A = this chain, B = another copy of it.
Amino acid sequence: MAARLSEDDLIARFFAPGAAPEGLGLRDDAALLAGAPGDLVLTTDALVAGVHFFADDPPDAIARKALRVNLSDLAAKGAEPVGFLLALALPTDWTEDWLAAFANGLAEDATAYACPLFGGDTVKTAGPLMVSITALGRIETGRMARRDGARPGDLLYVSGTIGDAALGLSLRLGAPALEAGLEVESRRFLLDRYLLPQPRCGLAPAMRRFAQGGMDVSDGFVGDLTKMLRVSGVTARIDLGLLPLSPAARAALSIDRALIETLATGGDDYEILAAVGQNEAADFERSAAAAGIKVSRVGTVAAGEGAPEFVGPSGRALAFTRGSFSHF
């Protein structure tokens, strides 16, 4: 059955109903985006089953994650979503039910985040499912928060909480001590943080107005921070006691103190790391609060080019054997 649906029929049935006017009904070779003032911010993130998610994750969650990891990039840059293009490689065993649920989750998130589908391509593959999304955002000219924008003296902030998704992934892969020691509510929270990123789109205005530099934390706090500092040509001193942790992550730490490394270096946080000038810090905090997004100051940018210095709650310097989680 499923294999007999042509690509055009598949697109018309599952994707065209939720597409934007710019997508021209998904019946053209291309989408048409009218010019508008400001800069365009462009980002591409691709997810592969077995690497970035589990092949048996709910199809709507896979679709949402694929869009949200791109929305997280736009938010970190300070841009407002405009729309996205989707390249979907379907494995041979896809079903219409699976695709309907995938398309439905995608359409719901596209509406919720005001980032509609502009177009794309659907292909078959002998390999695992792959979802590649290119998202477009718009921003006032010259206001993008760049990775290379951190300056000595800037305060470093992170949004939300760090490390939850890494613990959620540990639970998915099997972590007997955590399974035994954590309440069911905590386990559910951590698993959900891995399954469904919460892009901090509400922080975009604060980023473009008040941040010097920014990126989203997707490959681990320690590694991504180190990247931003290196590209900016600076270093930093980080107080790990200030790293924002959820109650569930605190509970996990109380079971095993060594999990601090998992929390600080694990991936899939999709929080925002911002470098904010000291004179803009109060405005940045107020703007974030007005958007209902928690931001926590974790350290200060310093002149120099070495690795950042991490100081633990006791004031003792810490080093990480594994700087960054790499999907690659």
Contacts and interface: CB of A to CB of B under 8 A. Distances in A.
Contacts of A1: none
Contacts of A6: 326, 328
Interface residues of A, number: 69
A7 B219 CA distance: 11
Interface string A31-47: 11111111111111111
Given A35-B35, A125-B128, A328-B122, A87 B30 contact: no
A30 B86 contact: no
A170 interface: no
Interface in A9-50: 10, 22, 24, 27-48, 50
A29 B77 contact: yes
B28 A147 contact: yes
Given A126-B127, A231-B27, A44 B7 contact: no
A227 interface: yes
Contacts of A51: 123-126
A124 to B, nearest CB: 6
A39 B7 CA distance: 27
A132 interface: yes
Interface string A71-93: 00110110100000111010100
